[in-house]
């Protein structure tokens, strides 16, 4: 049976570039001719856009780690979110760096649940002026706190320069990313995307309970 990997689009602001970057990552993996990305039982990738989820900040009275069954959640929206996250075996978090961290919307979405995340492999893809390495470090720490299995490799996509950022990223403009063109922005990061994805696939094959 093939695994399902949820690709979390972590920016909910308008305008935003996050969906384009998630598409680039998914297409890079899906068009890769190497390893598990091309194998017969390759995992299914499903995008999960946080902008489509209403998860109120003060929504749940319980401690997520103490919830043993989704029926214990107080809100239908949390039960739906629990069902979504439970339906995937691993995750790719695609996130901008905001003030050296990751978006509040992502932390809120993570903190609504606990047991749904535990033990699942994760891949971190960040972007920003310097690739979002500070965001990646914070997110990795949180995922370890959730007893997830984050891949040791990260994908960090740096902006080509300040003028580019002002004209494109900050305005949510079309970045013209192309997962198949050698001339595309971030084409040189495609091997890293595939390599970190392969690490996630290997983590999926580990018996549950083993952790890095």
Ligand X SMILES: Cc1cc2nc3c(=O)[nH]c(=O)nc-3n(C[C@H](O)[C@H](O)[C@H](O)COP(=O)(O)O)c2cc1C
Residues lying near ligand X in the complex (CB under 6 A): 11, 13, 16-18, 96-100, 128-129, 169-170, 172
What's the min distance (Å) between Cβ of 54 and ligand X? 18
Q: Quote the tokens at residue 142.
A: 């949180």
What's the min distance (Å) between Cβ of 203 and ligand X? 26
Q: Quote the tokens at residue 49.
A: 């856009």
Closest to ligand X by CB, 13 vs 180, is 13
Closest to ligand X by CB, 19 vs 59, is 19
What's the min distance (Å) between Cβ of 17 and ligand X? 4
What's the min distance (Å) between Cβ of 26 and ligand X? 15
Residue (of 169, 177, 189) closest to 97 by Cα position = 169
- Residue 128: left if φ>0, alpha if ψ -120 to 50, beta else—which one? left
What's the min distance (Å) between Cβ of 152 and ligand X? 23
Angle 190-205/18-30 helices, nearest 10 degrees? 70
Closest to ligand X by CB, 98 vs 164, is 98
Residue (of 3, 10, 177) closest to 93 by Cα position = 10
What's the min distance (Å) between Cβ of 1 and ligand X? 33
Cα–Cα distance between 202 and 121 in angstroms, integer? Answer: 9
Cα–Cα distance between 64 and 173 in angstroms, integer? Answer: 37
Q: In this structure, what is the dihedral angle of CA atoms 197, 26, 106, 101, given to the nearest 10 degrees?
A: 70
Closest to ligand X by CB, 79 vs 134, is 134
Please give the DSSP secondary-structure letter assigned to residue 98: B
Closest to ligand X by CB, 53 vs 98, is 98
Cα–Cα distance between 185 and 179 in angstroms, integer? Answer: 9
94 pairs with which residues across the strands?
9, 125
């Amino acid at each position: 049976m093939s695994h399902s990997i949820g690709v979390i689009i972590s920016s909910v602001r308008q305008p935003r570039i996050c969906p384009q970057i998630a598409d680039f990552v998914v297409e890079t993996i899906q068009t890769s001719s190497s390893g598990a990305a091309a194998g017969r039982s390759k995992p299914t990738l499903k995008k999960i856009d946080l902008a489509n989820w209403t998860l109120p900040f003060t929504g749940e009275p319980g401690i997520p780690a103490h919830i043993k069954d989704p029926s214990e959640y107080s809100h239908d929206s949390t039960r739906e979110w629990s069902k979504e996250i439970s339906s995937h075996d691993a995750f790719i978090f695609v996130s901008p760096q905001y003030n050296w961290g990751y978006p509040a919307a992502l932390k809120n979405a993570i903190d609504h649940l606990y047991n749904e995340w535990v033990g699942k492999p994760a891949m971190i893809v960040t972007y920003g002026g310097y690739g979002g390495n500070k965001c990646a470090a914070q997110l990795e720490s949180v995922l370890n706190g959730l007893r997830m299995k984050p891949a040791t490799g990260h994908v960090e996509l740096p902006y080509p320069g300040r003028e580019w950022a002002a004209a494109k990223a900050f305005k949510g403009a079309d970045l013209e990313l192309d997962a198949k063109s050698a001339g595309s922005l971030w084409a040189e990061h495609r091997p890293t995307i595939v390599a970190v994805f392969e690490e996630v696939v290997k983590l999926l094959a580990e018996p549950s309970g083993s952790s890095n």
